[in-house]
């Protein structure tokens, strides 16, 4: 039996939807929907309607739930390999997103955060 990731669900701010996920990560909006108050309460314990978007960035699909609440920083992150890691990092830096580059064993790993503290580890 093989496990396959279908999408990565994240809570994001409205400002990051285009600025970070489309312009920095190079994604395209494929679909959007309104998660109803009832479903949001049953699934996430949030008693509100939530706008959500599916964005594809090459082989990664993000399900982004738009909420502008501040989040507590944690060690949670999404890690992926990209042949375009350097370009993604450059766009993030140009847009003012936090970027840390770790060089180890002659390879660079980029750590980028959106404004909701969602952390991405991008290996090159």
In a domain, 2, yes or no: no
| Main-chain dihedrals φ then ψ at residue 104, nearest 5 degrees | -150, 130
Q: What's the domain range around 90?
A: 8-123
Rounded to an integer, what distance in angstroms lies between the CA atom of residue 95 and that of residue 75? 23
Q: How many folded domains does the chain comprise?
A: 1
In a domain, 3, yes or no: no
Say if CB 121 and CB 107 are below 8 A apart: no
- Mean pLDDT rounded to a whole number for the chain: 88
In a domain, 41, yes or no: yes
In a domain, 1, yes or no: no
Q: 91: domain CATH number?
A: 3.10.180.10
In a domain, 50, yes or no: yes
pLDDT of 50-108, one tens digit each? 999 999 999 999 999 998 876 666 667 898 899 899 999 999 999 999 999 988 888 89
pLDDT of 29-59, one tens digit each? 999 999 999 988 887 888 899 999 999 999 9
């Amino acid at each position: 039996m093989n496990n396959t990731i279908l999408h990565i669900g994240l809570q994001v701010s409205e400002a990051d939807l285009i600025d970070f996920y489309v312009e920095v990560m190079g994604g395209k909006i494929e679909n959007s929907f309104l998660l109803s108050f009832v479903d949001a309460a049953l699934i996430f314990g949030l008693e509100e309607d939530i706008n959500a978007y599916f964005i594809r960035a090459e082989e990664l699909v993000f399900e982004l739930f738009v909420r502008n609440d501040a989040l507590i920083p944690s060690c949670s992150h999404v890690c992926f390999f990209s042949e375009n890691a350097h370009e993604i990092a450059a766009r993030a830096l140009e847009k003012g997103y936090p970027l840390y580059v770790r060089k180890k064993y002659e390879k660079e790993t980029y750590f980028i955060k959106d404004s909701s503290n969602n952390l991405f580890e991008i290996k090159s």
